[in-house]
A and B are shown apart, each in its own frame.
Chain A
């Protein structure tokens, strides 16, 4: 079985500052990893995914995440955040062959001007 731990429930940062949202997972099989973002009163949007290949994956809006197999981590980073990045961020894992997507508890990113 897989599990996901998001180490911070809330992360406040100032606008234009860098941010890192931490995610650790556990699994006995190969995994596929995802970050989803949920803006207020909306559904979840796929931010980025790691399926295979390069361990560094990037999104179109400046976020990146690095898959680290030895540390079983998939941390999300952005070098400079904007007010519009204020949202809930969910890390999720799917084990090979599994139908279920296992979510972490979420991290609320708050951007202060």
Chain B
């Protein structure tokens, strides 16, 4: 069982919809991450939150909007997505504030399909 929980597991949405992905961890980790993974490719970093503040945005389009309400919770708000945004979205967390050497722990992801 993973210690990083992501909901929903699957999401199908139209290009005009607004939806949110949710990620929770209760390990006391201080850094949280969003990744996008296309089939047969490695994960691509999207955002990093360190101590609940956005520290890295990898030039992600504004139709993706991250939010970190508290140290255990990370959201990704989606609006007006494109078909090419269909992918597996992975959340991860690490014990350090993101600038150390601790490994990242991943959730099982949300498989997103844009119609």
Binding site for B on A (CB under 8 A): 32, 34, 36, 41-46, 49, 51, 90, 94, 96-101, 103-106, 108
B103 touching A43, Cβ below 8 Å: no
Give the chain A neighbours of B4 by CB distance below 8 A: 43
A49 touching B45, Cβ below 8 Å: no
A99 touching B103, Cβ below 8 Å: no
Give the chain A neighbours of B45 by CB distance below 8 A: 100-101
Binding site for A on B (CB under 8 A): 2, 4, 6, 31, 40-43, 45, 48, 50, 55-56, 90, 92, 98-101, 103-109, 111
Task: Indicate which residue in B2, B42, B50, B109 contacts A99 across the interface (CB closer than 8 Å).
Answer: B50
The total number of A-B Cβ pairs within 8 Å is: 53
B43 touching A44, Cβ below 8 Å: yes
Question: Cα distance A108–B42 when bound, in Å?
Answer: 12
Give the chain A neighbours of B50 by CB distance below 8 A: 99
Q: List 18 A-B contacts (CB under 8 A).
A: A34-B103, A42-B108, A43-B2, A43-B90, A43-B107, A44-B92, A44-B106, A46-B103, A46-B105, A49-B103, A96-B101, A97-B100, A99-B31, A100-B48, A100-B56, A103-B42, A103-B43, A106-B42
B104 touching A101, Cβ below 8 Å: yes
Contacts A99-B50, A99-B55 hold; do A105 and B41 have CB atoms under 8 A apart? Answer: yes
Question: Cα distance A103–B109 when bound, in Å?
Answer: 17
B101 touching A90, Cβ below 8 Å: no
Question: Cα distance A32–B68 when bound, in Å?
Answer: 27
Distance of A102 from chain B, by nearest CB (Å): 9
Give the chain B neighbours of A34 by CB distance below 8 A: 103
| A49 nearest CB neighbor, chain B only | B103
| A96 nearest CB neighbor, chain B only | B101
A106 touching B101, Cβ below 8 Å: no
